[in-house]
Amino acid sequence: MNKSLTTSNRFLARSDMHCQATRVSPPPSTERKKRGRGEVRGRGMNDAELMSALIVGVVIGFYLMFWRPDQKARDKHKKQMRDLRAGDEVLTTSNFVATIRDIQVPESGQPRITLELADGVLVTALPGAILERLSAGRNDIAAEKQPSEQKGRS
């Protein structure tokens, strides 16, 4: 009986070793690794980083395409309004072409601009009513031509 027991034990031991040796582990590509804190990740971006980069890109694109050109146009309009003089021809927001006759700057409040729409038709407007300056006044044109003529003579 001892012999039969030892033989069966040997058989079981061999079959266990055989099973352990023939076990197939899943390939490493399908195996999911759990990442803990502080563990070094691969080179790829995860979803949160990709979404953050996309949002930053959209914000920068929005700034460059819409906000910045609008800001430049506002600055240009402010400069044009500062440079207005009597005699300038302007276009109003209601699409009237008028000539500036007078600019009154009170101590408080907005300046008042007197516009001549036609001979003898005067209208008082605020600077916000002027859309753009069409041409400089006669005095400004003469002043601009004189320095260029002097350069040509030198």
The CATH number that domain 85-153 falls under is 2.30.30
* 109: confidence class by pLDDT, cuts 50, 70, 90: confident
Per-residue model confidence as pLDDT tens digits over 15-55: 555 555 555 666 665 555 555 555 555 566 788 889 999 99
Token pair listed for 98: 């008028």
* 83: confidence class by pLDDT, cuts 50, 70, 90: confident
pLDDT value at residue 117: 93
pLDDT value at residue 154: 47
CB of 112 closer than 8 Å to CB of 106: yes
Delimit the domains of the chain by residue range: 53-82, 85-153
Q: Which helix (H) or strand (E) holds 113?
A: strand 112-118
Please tell me the distance from the alpha carbon of residue 65 to that of residue 59, in angstroms, as a whole number. Answer: 10
Residue where the block lists tokens 């699409």: 95
Please tell me the distance from the alpha carbon of residue 147 to that of residue 137, in angstroms, as a whole number. Answer: 17
pLDDT value at residue 51: 92
Please tell me the distance from the alpha carbon of residue 14 to that of residue 92, in angstroms, as a whole number. Answer: 101
